[in-house]
């Protein structure tokens, strides 16, 4: 298996790329002409979105790629990618005629172009400074990265965008704000990162011309005003320097450097300069054979001209991050005119003009690579590009390290062509939740690129997804089953869990409402306001009361007490307890009533206190002191209504030295299954904790259990409950 080349190479030789295919001998030769002949009848009558004839556009894009050293193979891919959009089964047809690698490249490039066209159309009506427009542009960046598994796709899209800008400018056709923004914020920075200056500079000039036509015309007119005089001076200086360097034994070629208006304006604005102060208006480039010759030429220039302080950069010793290498200096001649001079080797110049494409064009350069990257093998060429794409991704993320490049995200479209970012492996259900939580809940089916697919089908980059939703309803529990593969997004999983938790809460409230309403009917108090009853019991709303009752956290006795009329308050000065304190420990049943002795005490059934709970006593009418936990809802109600009946109590140490056992209620909520009660009971038995009562209830797959266990110390109970929570299916285990 061999990889499809970017630049010319004999078929069957290992070359750069990630899509592999076998090829017949001689496949490379003439492949461009064969591809054009294949595409011509399909494209001749078609018009691109810009209004340009599609075949003419493909010819121009192929010429751009040829200009940066692209092989016949990648030029052929241009025609095939545009032709694929006119074919019913492009991968099959192109694969038979040109091979699987060409087919894959053509289809991927065509798919990416269609996605970007539809995305621009969806953003056409958005204000260009809106957050949504900016987010969509960011997604276009990331989508371009995601499609870069085949690195040739990047070059094809760059060349195509440059030709679109050229055509619209020549035809005096206005460029849409979304296309301009995408070109300015995505394609030009990518060309810069890959070091393809030839595309980068022209693209930036065309963008600037469209964005600021008046400023562009002004600077262009300033350049033209003294063009003849400046060109004469430049030619004179060029000839002088070239002759002088050759006299020094340096085989130099000196030429004028093209003027880029966008660069001139950036320098004027960035440094606050007038037009006459911009150094690179008069610029020369010196090409020499070796790095040694570069520094020898620099030494001669600095000896013969006056160096402008702070205007020297050595990008040979310290290359730019995209691999660019050159010596830059600014000097003044005898007439005090500033000249910018760049000095570099021929190989450095080709890399500066063609960027990563030069790694393929010069792949036979062996160890003579540049920027510390050997171009001696296709592997090195591929790594060089990957480095730049990784660096570009860091640029997009503000310098944060990124992991899983190309593999951890995908980008798909809504039917309205808005781009949606999802984790790799995401499904239509993830997509629905990414759009809107309610749409996710009601998702029942999906069309991907017009075809119905199962909801657990993984999506691919560039696909268009349409969701079929029910008018009402909720998610399926199957969606949370990882083995079934319905969800890949943690955000979507959290929303599904939240729905089921809310559903469980609604069922608990309904259960509590039913209990309260039955109690009101039994007491003959159905006319009582539920809001008033909730307030009497310390709840803000009736639903809060119902939820607590539904969880068995509030006893019916407390509700009954709130419904009964208040008894007359005792006369001032009356004493509820007349006994005097005696000297003994006053302990009865393990409870010490502070200041009193031999007083009947009993644990309250609503909260069932046990050591070392913080407790208080309530003096009942005829039944002694009822001992409550201080956090008991019923006790808080008694304290609010009859504070004079509340007394201080505490735990005592029995004379035997052994703490008595107290009954305590434990509430357990779990997914109902066979053997659940046995597994939980085994935990209590293993921990030697006596279970004296069990109540269970099962509703719609959920089990609610109340265990009454005997404990001498609730701290020991907390440890045992931790083990109960580890039982399979248990969602909650706590003391009531």
CB-based contacts of 83: which residues, under 8 Å, 6+ apart?
38, 39, 42, 43, 90, 94, 106
Select the more confidently predicted residue: 326 or 230.
326
Is residue 32 exposed (0-12), middle (13-18) or buried (19+ Cβ within 10 Å)?
buried
Q: Is 305 helix (H, G, I), strand (E, B) or coil?
A: coil
How much of the chain exceeds pLDDT 70, in percent?
74
pTM, to two decimals: 0.46
**Confidence tier at 14 by pLDDT (50, 70, 90):** very low
Whether 611 has a pLDDT exceeding 60, the answer reads yes
Whether 365 has a pLDDT exceeding 50, the answer reads no
CB atoms within 10 A of CB 334: 8
What would the two tokens of residue 480 be? Answer: 């949370």
pLDDT tens across 368-408, in order? 333 333 333 343 444 455 445 545 544 544 444 444 444 57
pLDDT at 653: 67
User: Distance from CA of residue 543 to its chain's centroid?
Assistant: 38
Distance CA 254, CA 342 (A): 10
Q: What is the DSSP letter of 623?
A: S
pLDDT at 519: 86
* Cα-based distances in Å from 409 to 135, 426, 459: 15, 9, 11
338-345/327-332 β-pairing:
antiparallel
Closest by CA to 58, choosing from 116, 106, 111, is 106
Select the more confidently predicted residue: 29 or 514.
514
What is the distance in angstroms between the CA of the first residue and the CA of the last residue of the chain? Answer: 68
Q: Is 345 helix (H, G, I), strand (E, B) or coil?
A: strand
pLDDT at 162: 93
* Cα-based distances in Å from 266 to 36, 177, 260: 41, 21, 10
Average pLDDT, the chain: 77
List, in order of start, the domains of the chain with CATH numbers.
2-196 (1.10.3210.10), 221-395 (3.30.460.10), 409-488 (3.10.20.30), 499-563 (no CATH), 587-651 (no CATH), 662-735 (3.30.70.260)
Distance CA 69, CA 358 (A): 7
Span 50-77, mean pLDDT?
Answer: 88
The sheet that has 649-651: what strands, in order across it? Answer: 587-588, 591-593, 649-651
Q: Is 246 helix (H, G, I), strand (E, B) or coil?
A: helix
What would the two tokens of residue 216 be? Answer: 């562009």
**Confidence tier at 329 by pLDDT (50, 70, 90):** very high
pLDDT at 635: 87
CB atoms within 10 A of CB 612: 11
Distance CA 295, CA 298 (A): 5
pLDDT at 176: 82
How much of the chain exceeds pLDDT 90, in percent?
21
pLDDT at 192: 76
pLDDT tens across 30-42, in order? 888 999 999 999 9
Span 440-467, mean pLDDT?
Answer: 90
pLDDT tens across 564-591, in order? 665 554 444 333 333 333 333 444 445 6
The dihedrals phi and psi of 309, each to the nearest 5 degrees, come to -55, 140
Distance CA 62, CA 56 (A): 10
pLDDT at 446: 93
pLDDT tens across 82-130, in order? 998 888 888 889 989 898 888 888 888 887 777 777 666 655 555 555 5
Select the more confidently predicted residue: 555 or 51.
51
Closest by CA to 410, choosing from 389, 428, 385, is 428
Span 306-318, mean pLDDT?
Answer: 90
């Amino acid at each position: 298996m061999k990889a499809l080349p970017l630049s010319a190479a004999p078929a069957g030789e290992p070359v750069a790329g990630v899509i592999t295919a076998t090829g017949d001998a001689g496949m490379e030769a003439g492949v461009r002409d064969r591809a054009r002949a294949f595409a011509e009848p399909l494209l001749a009558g078609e018009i691109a979105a810009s209004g340009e004839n599609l075949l003419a556009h493909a010819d121009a894009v192929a010429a751009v790629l040829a200009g940066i050293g692209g092989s016949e193979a990648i030029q052929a891919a241009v025609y095939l990618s545009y032709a694929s959009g006119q074919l019913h089964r492009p991968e099959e047809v192109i694969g038979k005629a040109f091979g699987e690698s060409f087919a894959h490249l053509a289809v991927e490039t065509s798919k990416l172009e269609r996605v970007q066209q539809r995305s621009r159309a969806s953003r056409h009506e958005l204000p260009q400074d809106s957050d949504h427009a900016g987010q969509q542009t960011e997604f276009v960046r990331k989508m371009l990265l995601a499609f870069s598994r085949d690195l040739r796709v990047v070059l094809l899209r760059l060349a195509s965008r440059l030709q679109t800008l050229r055509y619209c400018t020549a035809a005096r056709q206005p460029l849409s704000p979304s296309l301009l923004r995408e070109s300015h914020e995505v394609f030009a920075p990518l060309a810069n990162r890959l070091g393809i200056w030839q595309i980068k500079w022209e693209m930036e000039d065309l963008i600037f011309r469209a964005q600021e036509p008046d400023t562009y015309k002004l600077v262009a007119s300033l350049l033209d005003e003294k063009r003849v005089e400046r060109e004469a001076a430049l030619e004179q200086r060029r000839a002088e320097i070239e002759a002088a360097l050759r006299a020094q034994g340096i085989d130099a070629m000196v030429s004028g450097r093209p003027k880029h208006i966008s660069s001139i304006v950036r320098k004027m604005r960035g440094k606050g300069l007038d037009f006459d102060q911009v150094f690179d208006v008069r610029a020369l480039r010196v090409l020499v054979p070796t790095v040694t010759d570069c520094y020898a030429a620099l030494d001669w220039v600095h000896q013969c001209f006056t160096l402008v302080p702070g205007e020297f950069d050595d990008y040979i010793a310290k290359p730019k991050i995209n691999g660019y290498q050159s010596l830059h200096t600014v000097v003044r001649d005898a007439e005090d005119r500033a000249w910018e001079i760049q000095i570099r080797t021929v190989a450095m110049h080709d890399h500066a003009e063609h960027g990563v494409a030069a790694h393929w064009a010069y792949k036979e350069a062996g160890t003579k690579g540049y920027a510390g990257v050997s171009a001696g093998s296709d592997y090195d060429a591929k790594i060089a590009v990957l480095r730049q794409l990784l660096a570009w991704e860091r640029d997009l993320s503000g310098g944060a390290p990124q992991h899983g490049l190309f593999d951890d995200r995908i980008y798909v479209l809504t039917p309205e062509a808005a781009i949606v970012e999802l984790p790799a492996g995401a499904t239509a259900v993830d997509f629905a939740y990414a759009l809107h939580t309610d749409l996710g809940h009601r998702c029942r089916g999906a069309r991907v690129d017009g075809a119905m697919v199962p909801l657990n089908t993984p999506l691919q980059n560039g696909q268009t997804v349409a969701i079929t939703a029910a008018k009402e309803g909720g998610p399926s529990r199957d969606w949370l089953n990882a083995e079934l593969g319905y969800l890949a997004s943690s955000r979507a999983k959290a929303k599904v869990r939240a729905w089921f938790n809310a559903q469980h809460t609604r069922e608990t409230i309904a259960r509590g409402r039913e209990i309260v309403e039955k109690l009101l009917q039994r007491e003959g108090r159905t006319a009582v306001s539920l809001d008033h009853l909730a307030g009497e019991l310390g709840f803000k709303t009736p639903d809060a009361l119902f939820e607590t009752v539904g969880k068995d956290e509030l006893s019916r006795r407390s509700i009954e007490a709130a419904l009964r009329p208040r008894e007359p308050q005792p006369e001032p000065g009356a004493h509820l307890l007349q006994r005097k304190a005696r000297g003994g420990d006053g302990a009865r049943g393990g409870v010490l009533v502070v200041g009193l002795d031999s007083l009947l005490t009993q644990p309250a059934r609503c909260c069932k206190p046990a050591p070392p709970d913080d407790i208080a006593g309530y003096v009942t009418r005829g039944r002694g002191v009822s001992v409550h936990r201080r956090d008991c809802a019923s006790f808080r109600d008694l304290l609010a209504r009859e504070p004079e009946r509340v007394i201080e109590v505490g735990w005592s140490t029995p004379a035997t030295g052994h703490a008595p056992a107290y009954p305590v209620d434990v509430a357990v909520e779990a997914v109902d299954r066979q053997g659940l009660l046995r597994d939980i009971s085994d935990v209590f038995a293993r921990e030697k904790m006596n279970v004296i009562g069990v109540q269970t209830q099962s509703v719609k797959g959920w089990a609610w259990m109340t265990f009454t266990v005997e404990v001498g110390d609730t701290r020991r109970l907390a440890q045992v409950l931790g083990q109960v929570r580890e039982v399979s299916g248990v969602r909650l285990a706590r003391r009531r």
